[in-house]
Structure formats: structure tokens, C-alpha cells
Amino acid sequence: MKKENIFERAAMLIYKQACIRKLPVFSSAQVENDLLQLHPGENVQWIRTQYYVKKIALVLMILLAGAAFGAAAKILARDGIILQEDGSIERGSYREGEFEISVTADLGDEKEDFAIQIQPRQLSAEEMDELAEEFISNLPQLIKGKNEGLGKVTEDLILQDAYEGYPFETQWSSDNLLVVGSGGEVRPQDNDETVKLFVTISCGDFERKEAFEVTVAAESLTERERWRRDLEEYLKTSEESKRFEEKLTLPEKWQDRDIVWSQKVEDNSVILWVCALAVAIAVYIMSDRDLHGRLEKRKKLLKQEYPDLVHRLVLFVGAGMTVRGAFIKIASEHEKKYGNQTGKRPAYDEVILTCRELQSGTSEGAAYEHFGRRTGLQEYIRLSTLLMQNLKRGNSALLERLREEADKAGEERLQQSKRLGEEAGTKLLLPMALMLAVVMVMIIMPAFSAM
């Protein structure tokens, strides 16, 4: 006997409690009918219990996997927190490169989000090399960005380490970082501000320094926007001025307002938990559809096997056998060929089950009635009715009626084959149209290329 795993044991407990409380989620008439037809002759309650227990166990495994992945995602998100309790941030070594950290400033009644670029702790920088007159004369046009010129600046400047078309490396600085940052960030003030930008240009052993005057046009800001701008500029300036220190400590207060900092991290644990729940619900619902699909597949096999079964009955009854003997003969031949395998030829499985009912003492009429009812198909119900009427009226017209039924079954099989052929032809229309389009393209394209 197969040993139950922990999920199946838990599922059994859930199912028992649900049955005690008579929850409708475990009592579907459609599911019970499908199970009865898929497992003829077996204990209904046992089959239903096994079906729901397996389905619940699968749902529990999905939920547990989702919970585990969600917890792992949450732990990884927590591991990504580098902001210390004292408001300091550990810098990496210069080999690790720069990184960005998202932080939240908790002001008590409101919160503000900031993105801080953290540069690695640097060693002493080497001198920048070489300078060319043409490059310096073109720099105002290269750095102005969306502005009309450096005489009236409202948008960020393009201050890069290098510019396309020139072999020079550049290093920028500003005499007023609150107005123009070293990266070209422009922060308009209440009045027009003139800022000097200093650039060091180098190439090989040559180095030259130049200065440019930039006028930043005034822009009106709200108190909240000005507060944020000032704090953002302070954070950037503080980060740049303390790059040789091991830690960067964020301010606890700014302009008489207390700040509680917290780091923003990407936490996908809730999404994983919700996805796991959604998948579990989908699996639970789709299991019933899969069960019904298996039943429909079984019915198709029963329809396909019906003409063969009726012809064999005609053969054996015409040879002088009784209907009971014919059933036993058909069942024995099937068992000899397929053994105890079930499901491959469901019509003959039903014949075997009918023979077992006859051997257990069930009357022939009841056994034939059960035979037709279990399949749920009109053809088999018609055959079982014919066999039951034969028991009541005698064998005089049985063979003739069976032959008529065999002819009718053969005609129905022929019609069904025609329908399947027509359906297959319809399904092939789209692939054939696509192939035609591909062939047309292959023919037309060389013609156009030659023109």
C-alpha cells in the first residue's frame, strides 16, 4: 500500500472537516457523475475521497511553494538593506564601483523619497591630460543640452566624462553646487544666478584647464519644493565631499524638521504569495475541467468501439451462443489480450464489469441495464434495452435486431468519420493559407529585387 505523504494527510483532514461541515466546494454533482463514469463499478465514496484529497494536496503543495518563495524574496529584500540604524551607509571599495540607494525620509507627518548615488571610496586621482583649442571652443555647444545657450540656462547641462568625436577626457566642477551640480544638474533659485564651471581636459601628457560662465534663470518654487531641493543638494554634496570616509551618515534634522530615514527595497514577497494563491485556485478549478475532459475522451472511445462490439455480438449469437455466453467470450478474449489493463478500450472494460456482475449473482436484465446506464451514451442504452427486451420476449428476433443495430452502428461510424474529415480540413485552412502566403513572398521578392 502506498504510504501517504504529509500533504495527503493534511488534505485528508481538510476534506473530513469539510464533509462534516457540508461545505459545497467538495460536493459537485458534475464531478461525481464524471467520476462514476470514469471508474465504473468502483466504490463511489472512495473514488470521490481520493479525487478531492489529491486535488487538495496539490493545492497545498502550490501554496507552500509560493509561501517559501515569497519568504525567500522577503529575506533577500531584507539582505539588500545597507542603511545602518545610525543613518550611515557603508561604501564599497573602488573596485566595486558606484551604486544607487533609495531611501525614505520620515518627517513624522509626511515622507519623502530620495535616490542617492554612492560612489566608492577612492584613491588619489591621477592628473587629467591634453587639451585642444577646437574642443574648448565647441564645448559651450556640446554642454548646453536643451538650453538656447549658457547665457540663459533652465534645463540640465550635459557634463560628461567624454564627448563623441574628441579623444579627450573631461572633469567638471562648479563654484556653486547648489545651483549647478558637478553632473550638470541645474537647480534654479529665486533670482538669476551666475555660476562658473571649471573643466580639466586631458589627453596623454597634455592638460589644460578652462572656465565657463553659466547664467541660471530664476524659477519660482513652493516651500516644499525648495526644501526638497536644498536637502537633495545637501545629500549629493555631502556624498561627494566624504568619499574618502568609510561611511556616509544621513542628517537627522534638516531646516528644523526631524527626519527618520528608512531604505526603500524591492520586496516581491507579496506578489509571489498572491500568485501562488491564484495558481492554487486555478489548479483547483482546472482539475474539474480536466476530469470532465477525460470523461469526454472516454465517451469518444466508447463511440468508436461500439460498432466493433455489436458486430462481435452478432458473430457469437449467430454462432449459437447466448447473450450471456457472448459477453463472457468477449470479456475473456479481451482479458487474454490486455490482461488487467483498463482504460485503453473502455467498451470492453464495461463488458468485463457486466460479466463480473453476472458472476456475483446479479440478474441478466439488471446487468444489461447497468451496462447501458454506466456508459451514458445513447447507443449503449439502446443496445442494453434490446438485450433486456430479448430476455422478456425470447430469442426469436434477437439476431435480426442485432444485425440491424450493427448496420446502424456502421452507418453512424461512417458519418462520424466524414465529420472528422471535414473538421480536419477546416483546421488545415489557416496553415495552408500561411504556406501560400510564404510561397507568394518567396516568388515575388526576387522579382522586386531584380527591378
Each residue of 17-59: pLDDT tens digit?
877 777 776 667 777 777 777 777 677 788 888 888 888 888 8
Asked whether residue 196 is domain-assigned, the answer is: yes
Asked whether residue 12 is domain-assigned, the answer is: yes
Q: What is the pLDDT of residues 186-204, one digit of tens each?
A: 887 778 889 898 988 876 6
Pair 21, 113 in one domain: no
Asked whether residue 444 is domain-assigned, the answer is: no
| Domain housing 148 | 89-263
Q: Which of 255, 279, 303 is the last residue of a domain?
A: 279
Asked whether residue 305 is domain-assigned, the answer is: yes
Asked whether residue 253 is domain-assigned, the answer is: yes
Pair 104, 219 in one domain: yes
Q: What is the pLDDT of residues 388-433, one digit of tens each?
A: 888 877 666 778 888 888 888 778 777 777 777 777 777 777 788 8
Pair 405, 257 in one domain: no
Pair 220, 149 in one domain: yes
Pair 19, 49 in one domain: yes
pLDDT mean across residues, the chain: 80
Asked whether residue 255 is domain-assigned, the answer is: yes
Pair 231, 124 in one domain: yes
* pLDDT at residue 125 tops 80: no
Pair 68, 155 in one domain: no
Distance CA 75, CA 71 (A): 6
Q: Which long-range contacts (CB under 8 A, 24 or more apart) does 163-169 make?
A: 163/135, 166/132, 166/135, 167/130, 167/203, 168/130, 168/131, 168/132, 168/135, 168/201, 168/202, 168/203, 169/128, 169/129, 169/201, 169/202, 169/203
Is 448 buried (19+), middle (13-18) or exposed (0-12) by CB count in 10 A? exposed
Asked whether residue 436 is domain-assigned, the answer is: no
Pair 105, 254 in one domain: yes
Nearest in space to 237 (alpha carbons), one of 156, 196, 181: 181
Pair 252, 105 in one domain: yes
Pair 240, 134 in one domain: yes
Is 129 buried (19+), middle (13-18) or exposed (0-12) by CB count in 10 A? middle
Do 214 and 235 contact (CB within 8 A), yes or no? no
Pair 36, 106 in one domain: no
Pair 229, 362 in one domain: no
| Three-class DSSP category at 267 | coil
At 202, which amino acid appears?
S
Interacting residues of 409 by C-beta distance below 8 A, sequence separation 6+: 306, 307, 310, 311, 379
Domain count, the chain: 3
Name the more confident of 168 and 107: 107
Asked whether residue 160 is domain-assigned, the answer is: yes
Q: What is the predicted pLDDT for the residue at 95?
A: 43
Say how many C-beta atoms besides its own lie within 10 A of residue 140's C-beta: 14
Q: pTM higher than 0.75 for the full model?
A: no
